[in-house]
Amino acid sequence: MIVDVKSPVPSDIEIAQAANMKPIREVAEGVGLTEDDLEPCGWYKAKVHLDVLEKFKDRPNAKYIDVTAITPTPLGEGKTVTTIGVSQGLAYLGKKVFTCIRQPSQGPTFGIKGGAAGGGYAQIVSMEDFNLHLTGDIHAVGAAHNLLAAAIDNRLAKEDRWSTSYLAKALCPDDEYTPSMRKRLEKLGIESERPSDLSDEDKERMFRLNIDPYSIQWRRVVDVSDAALRSIIIGLGPRNDGPTRQTGYDITVASEIMAALALCSDLADLRDRMGRIIIGTSKKGGLRHVGRIEPITAEDLNVAGAMTVLLKEAIMPNLMQTLMGSPAFVHCGPFANIAQGNSSVIADKIALKLMGPDGYVVTESGFGADCGMEKFFNIKCRVSGLVPNCVVIVASVRALKMHGGGPKVVAGKPLDKIYTQENLELLEKGLSNLTQHVENARKFGVPVVVAVNRFTSDTAAEIEVVKKAAMEAGAEAVAMSNVWAKGGEGGAELAEAVIAACEKPVDFKFLYPDEMSIKEKIETVVREIYRADGVDYTAEAEARIKLFTDMGLSHLPLCMAKTHLSFTHDPAIKGTPRGWRMPITDVRASVGAGFLFPLCGTMRTMPGLPTRPVFTDIDIDLETGKVVGLS
Amino acid sequence: MIVDVKSPVPSDIEIAQAANMKPIREVAEGVGLTEDDLEPCGWYKAKVHLDVLEKFKDRPNAKYIDVTAITPTPLGEGKTVTTIGVSQGLAYLGKKVFTCIRQPSQGPTFGIKGGAAGGGYAQIVSMEDFNLHLTGDIHAVGAAHNLLAAAIDNRLAKEDRWSTSYLAKALCPDDEYTPSMRKRLEKLGIESERPSDLSDEDKERMFRLNIDPYSIQWRRVVDVSDAALRSIIIGLGPRNDGPTRQTGYDITVASEIMAALALCSDLADLRDRMGRIIIGTSKKGGLRHVGRIEPITAEDLNVAGAMTVLLKEAIMPNLMQTLMGSPAFVHCGPFANIAQGNSSVIADKIALKLMGPDGYVVTESGFGADCGMEKFFNIKCRVSGLVPNCVVIVASVRALKMHGGGPKVVAGKPLDKIYTQENLELLEKGLSNLTQHVENARKFGVPVVVAVNRFTSDTAAEIEVVKKAAMEAGAEAVAMSNVWAKGGEGGAELAEAVIAACEKPVDFKFLYPDEMSIKEKIETVVREIYRADGVDYTAEAEARIKLFTDMGLSHLPLCMAKTHLSFTHDPAIKGTPRGWRMPITDVRASVGAGFLFPLCGTMRTMPGLPTRPVFTDIDIDLETGKVVGLS
């Protein structure tokens, strides 16, 4: 450990600030990276160039471990702490290990939740950098996202104002097409060397996008929890400012660009993905005359290149360290409901090569295993081609008691004492939540380790009951985790279990093939993972499924947009409900990210602030220059 | 030069990408900085710690040179090119020289104007970093600005929903005040150890800010040119999302936070400035009962500490290099109309110490000398206590002909040939614009050098006429600048003139003292610099002047918000008009930045996009990974 372990455990920020961090150059050297492979960002973090992948391409991959959890209480069950803890445990045992996790949004850091660098003696440091700006990747995503948004309203304003021949002349003043315009020509099936070649009709098709303002799904983003921006009206100025229309803001990490960045393989792939982003549709006919409307992309707006330019540093993963001084990548932070909720493919790929065949890479999936792990397998592994060696499912006695029918757990309110006293009956009733998650993981053919995030109030009898149920459901092992209080040493038991599980054979398979229809895919996930009897679609969802099928998008994997607080769409329903049907209210397409997302209920994409936001306590200590109050 | 000078001159980005940049560590070593003084940001830029000031505090300052311009055409007269050019010229002559300039906004980089790293063989490199994100300072300003905005609407929503006793309990759950709350207690003149001490009336005053939604002047910001956001309605969601109200977005560099960052002296000063920011007023009575309303500050919202935390890296200047490999600070980019339009005080102070008594620091003021230079002296030098040794006024024959009555100059349209043929009559008529700027500069007691940004079409006779007029108006010298085509060598003549001017005695004085009334200050600037006969105030402006005087803010300097395209408030009026009166439509206060800004007409604080934005050409060359199309 790069910090002395104390008892009682001090606050997260006190521990983090006491750490004697290694210079990042030293961390990099330890994994075989030279200065040429890095872009330093201060002395304790660095971006890693993507050509490292080429350099180590012949080296076999390390073991690949995904950390997920049972259906959590609103307090969370310590998934990030355990992810870092497994890594620190492996490092404690002398293993080569790399941790790959998401960068948190600054919104919740200042709002309700506080930071997300882990906690206690299982943290990524520097904790301030982790939680604040990091190396600016989220801001870069925001800049690219909002540039596209501005391009949309600007185009609406200009098309409203100018004739097609003026538009053509303004867009091609030298009578030449840009490469981006040539892509649109190709999409439209128009052969033309120069704009002056075009017939009036083709000129109209080429230069008048004719965007339907009511179809626009591309909102704006900001990395602040700002509920007043959820629903807004823009364009109240004169005609040239753009049309008056209703739209809104999401938190930046909910941007499709964040999802695409986390799934792309390199800069060329990212450039393609930016071009493919669909922002809405045209008002009438056009390309393929699908359902009489045509999808409008970022490429059509000639802005996908500039968006990619804004992301050319953000694509490089950020190297940091754990409190064991072991290497960690913190890269991308896509939302876990409307997006995949997993850190980047690129970071995992580089880490797997850097660790090599006798090493370990530990990554984390957002939300519970029904959300994050399912997407880890069906989306992230499908895109990356990587095969995981082991899944760690984090459970707590507290959460299992809640699933057994315990009183409501509410953040900020005192816990009912039933959660801190032995209660085998309640626990046993709730165990099925754990066993369903274990069974679900086994369906993907990957060995499962259950990590019990042990609280001091958990009794030996309670732990025994959990162990027995998990083993019966097919887990390879059940191990205690005490990383919050003890750091690497507290993660050793779990690390041993993970090492053993990684030696087991893997028979990895996706839950559904690409070529399955959209409805079959939805129904597969709903029946196999959530265990509903079937699916009910709204008319809107049905129409979308038809549209996306007609548009040739049915090969895309699904990203189910569902609450993480229940196997169902209703966060109040705990345990493992049976005999219910999943309502699908709408289906949307993130073509740049490369998935369709069916909506199981309403998803919040912009958090709010409480009456006393976390920022109330955050300040600079002007004597020391240190941050205080960050949690 | 770190790049070979070619003729004809290639595009800016081709020159920049061909440069053989020095590692930033080498640039830093060259000015006496060690690794401990730096935070590297990649290999070619670094942030410099503020404690460098303490380290070199006993060293005398270098010579301090401000580069400004005559009233420009809409094409600009090459002020940034000349700023970098003077520096490169000094370096060419073997002098120690540091360049300090502003970071440009990404909005115009992708919108109308393109980049701002200089041009030709007078540039700051890397040009891509300069124009894109740099080290994230503008994003940090945006994050702090928008956090305050969210805090405002959140407070409105929560006060609308909860009783005062609930608010008190929610804000102080442990019956304890935060340091920020103690500041509000002090401001209200309430003595109290704990919230439970308070009388009902004091509790109301303390915890219910009672913000008047119509008074809120704090808009939101984004670093994108997005005209559709100029005027918007927010809060269309349910009650808890915040009230429905009209507001809008400015470009991030127009944020008061950017102005404050550029004027602050250290982190403690920045923390104070954040706390002092006034976002609007209360609905009725309260502190001092001034005009029956009370100013509401960021401190009252308990968010000034968190805002400062977001800016703790942005306060450090960014070290880069010119095409001579000489050091440059690129730091802060406040707007030049509603703010001071000058780069940071901190960067200048550090550079002056690093260069020492036999060195030179060249900085630039935004807009023409009537705007940027006047604010450089009256605001920036007043705050910093620094005394400039020389002013360089950039002029072009083209602009002087325009002031003499030449046809309108419009960006993107071909120049009338009158501008490229000898025309002494038109030139002589326009000379008064130059001479008025020279006389204005002389009023501050600082030696003046006129730099003629020479175009190939300028004739010897034309240059002679300009020289004679400038010398008669009091310039120390008139020198030709050919830095765009020739780099350092092309700046040598100008550098010689600057060196000579810096040896002249300086009798520096402000145009007005702190204790002058607001109206007297306005009238002094208007009569002395713009040469109007007097000032006409709207009723609104009169009311504001009274309010700010009552609030004790009349000691602040003025930041005149005026067009840079004319000495008057009307951009169409060229030359040196006489016999006119300046209308002041409103007066606003940037108390965090530390100035009042009278509005001379309507100011645009959010640029728009043209039909063919600059982003249309910007892309990544996927073969080389290089940026193309950035201008």
Answer whether A231 sits within 8 Å of B229, measured CB to CB. no
**CA distance linking residue B13 with residue A515, whole number of Å:** 46
Residue A285 has pLDDT above 70, yes or no: no
Decide if B532 is inside a domain: yes
Beta bridge partners of B295: B281
Q: What is the pLDDT of residue A289?
A: 44
| pTM (2 d.p.) | 0.97
Q: What is the pLDDT of residue B150?
A: 98
Of the three residues B290, B310, B330, the one that is the final residue of a domain is B310
**CA distance linking residue B28 with residue B22, whole number of Å:** 10
Of the three residues A502, A532, A550, the one that is the final residue of a domain is A502
Both B100 and B241 in a single domain? no
Both B336 and B255 in a single domain? no
Decide if B546 is inside a domain: yes
Residues on chain A touching B303 (C-beta within 8 angstroms): 613, 615-616
Q: Which residue of A has its CA nearest to B47?
A: A42
* Whole-angstrom Cα Rg for chain A: 25
Residue A13 has pLDDT above 50, yes or no: yes
Q: Within an 8 Å CB–CB cutoff, is residue B235 touching chain A?
A: yes
* CB contact residues (below 8 A), chain A span 183-222, against chain B: 220, 222
Decide if A301 is inside a domain: no
Both A123 and A162 in a single domain? no
Both B406 and B474 in a single domain? yes
Decide if B611 is inside a domain: no
Q: Within an 8 Å CB–CB cutoff, is residue A42 touching chain B?
A: yes
Residue A507, SS3 per DSSP = coil
Identify the segments of chain B with pLDDT beneath 50.
286-291
Tell which residue, B331, B342, B397, has the closest CA to residue B367.
Answer: B342
CB-CB: which of B142, B162, B612 is closest to A611? Answer: B162
Residues on chain A touching B220 (C-beta within 8 angstroms): 222, 229
Output helix, strand, coil percentages for chain A, rounded to the nearest 5: 40, 15, 40
Residues on chain B touching A130 (C-beta within 8 angstroms): none
Residues on chain B touching A229 (C-beta within 8 angstroms): 220, 234
Residue A551 has pLDDT above 80, yes or no: yes
Name the strand (E) or helix (H) holding A166: helix A164-171
Both B46 and B107 in a single domain? yes
Q: How confident is the model at residue A456 (pLDDT cuts 50, 70, 90)?
A: confident
Decide if B604 is inside a domain: no
Longest dimension (CA), chain B: 82
Tell which residue, A59, A64, A109, has the closest CA to residue A86.
Answer: A64
Residues on chain B touching A171 (C-beta within 8 angstroms): 611-612, 616
CATH at B366: 3.40.50.300
Q: How far is A42 from chain B (nearest CA, A)?
A: 4
Both B440 and B488 in a single domain? yes
Q: Within an 8 Å CB–CB cutoff, is residue A629 touching chain B?
A: yes
Q: Which residue of A has its CA nearest to B412?
A: A173
Of the three residues B247, B278, B310, the one that is the final residue of a domain is B310
Q: Phi/psi class of residue A136: alpha, beta or left (left: φ > 0; alpha: ψ in -120 to 50)? A: left
Both B427 and B394 in a single domain? yes
Decide if B528 is inside a domain: yes
Both A402 and A547 in a single domain? no
Q: What is the pLDDT of residue B112?
A: 87
Answer whether B616 sits within 8 Å of A232, measured CB to CB. no
Q: Which residue of A has its CA nearest to B155?
A: A611
Domain that holds residue A195: 138-290
- What is the number of structural domains in chain B? 3
**CA distance linking residue B232 with residue A228, whole number of Å:** 12
Q: How far is B368 from chain A (nearest CA, A)?
A: 28
Answer whether B622 sits within 8 Å of A157, measured CB to CB. no
Decide if A604 is inside a domain: no
Q: How confident is the model at residue A170 (pLDDT cuts 50, 70, 90)?
A: very high
**pLDDT tens across A497-540, in order?**
999 999 999 999 999 999 999 999 999 999 999 999 999 999 99
Residue B200, SS3 per DSSP = helix
**CA distance linking residue B413 with residue A157, whole number of Å:** 22
- Residue pair A612/B159 in contact (Cβ under 8 Å)? The answer is no
**CA distance linking residue A444 with residue B94, whole number of Å:** 69
Q: What is the pLDDT of residue B29?
A: 98
3-state secondary structure B84-139: HHHHHHHHHCCCEEEEEECCCCHHHHHCCCCCCCEECCEEEECHHHHHCCCCCHHH
CATH at B230: 3.30.1510.10
Q: Within an 8 Å CB–CB cutoff, is residue B112 touching chain A?
A: no
Main-chain phi, psi angles of A344, to 5 degrees: -75, 150
**pLDDT tens across A553-589, in order?**
999 999 999 999 999 999 999 999 999 999 999 999 9
Tell which residue, B418, B500, B557, B511, has the closest CA to residue B93.
Answer: B500
**CA distance linking residue A341 with residue A330, whole number of Å:** 13
Q: What is the pLDDT of residue B591?
A: 97
- Residue pair A141/A258 in contact (Cβ under 8 Å)? The answer is yes
Both A365 and A450 in a single domain? yes
**CA distance linking residue B374 with residue B366, whole number of Å:** 10
Q: How far is A578 from chain B (nearest CA, A)?
A: 34
Residue A287 has pLDDT above 50, yes or no: no
Q: Within an 8 Å CB–CB cutoff, is residue A40 touching chain B?
A: yes
Cα torsion angle, A24, A30, A34, A39, sign = negative
**pLDDT tens across A49-98, in order?**
999 999 999 999 999 999 999 999 988 889 999 999 999 999 999 999 99
Answer whether A178 sits within 8 Å of B616, measured CB to CB. yes
Decide if B509 is inside a domain: no
State the complex-level ipTM.
0.97
- Which residues are CB-neighbours of B368 under 8 A, at least 6 positions away? B68, B69, B70, B71, B72, B437, B564
Both B475 and B533 in a single domain? no
Residues on chain A touching B180 (C-beta within 8 angstroms): 616, 619
CB-CB: which of B236, B308, B620 is closest to A267? Answer: B620
Both A475 and A353 in a single domain? yes
**CA distance linking residue B181 with residue A551, whole number of Å:** 57
**pLDDT tens across A210-237, in order?**
999 999 999 999 999 999 999 999 999 9
Both A366 and A478 in a single domain? yes
CATH at B579: 3.10.410.10
